[in-house]
Amino acid sequence: MTHEEIESRAARAVDLFKQGFNCSQAVFASCADLYGITDESLALRLAASFGGGTGRMRMTCGAANGMFMLAGLQNGSATPHDSEGKMANYAFVQHLAGEFKAKYGSLICAELLGLAPKGSVDPRPAPRTPEYYEKRPCSEMIAEAVRMYLRSIN
């Protein structure tokens, strides 16, 4: 895949995010067609639960989750006792996670956003306003997650 193709997919992911989709949806849907998922609404639904640090619990970053979902399409095992296949997929996910963490310092949504841990989690998404996009580093992380993923499979 060329640099231009990678950048086009990264830009598409940011565009999806700025339309109001979550970080995981943006990353996953920008590349799902590479694996035959050409129904974008299906890709968006598959990734919907992993945004906001998984269900808005501020755990694993949704952009990273989107990469990990793509990794499953790239080399995930579909055989129950395929130890070698599972190991290869886990190694790939660990590689992606390490690269993301090396760049951003964490895989945890709350840490990436500078949010204090909360006792209970409000499931309501924050209103998507210009200020929302301005104060969050999510667009950059989404674009970079797409780049990291696509460079890893080239």
Mean pLDDT to the nearest integer, 97-125: 89
Q: What are phi and psi of 108, to 5 degrees?
A: -90, 120
Mean pLDDT to the nearest integer, 13-26: 97
Nearest to 104 by CA among 116, 117, 113, 93: 113
Please give the model's pTM, rounded to 2 decimal places: 0.95
Mean pLDDT to the nearest integer, 30-53: 97
Domain extent at residue 77: 3-153
- For 76-108, the pLDDT digits (tens) are 999 999 999 999 999 999 999 999 999 999 999
* 34 in Cβ contact with 51 (< 8 Å): no
Number of domains in the chain: 1
Out of 62-71, 81-90, 117-126, least confident range: 117-126
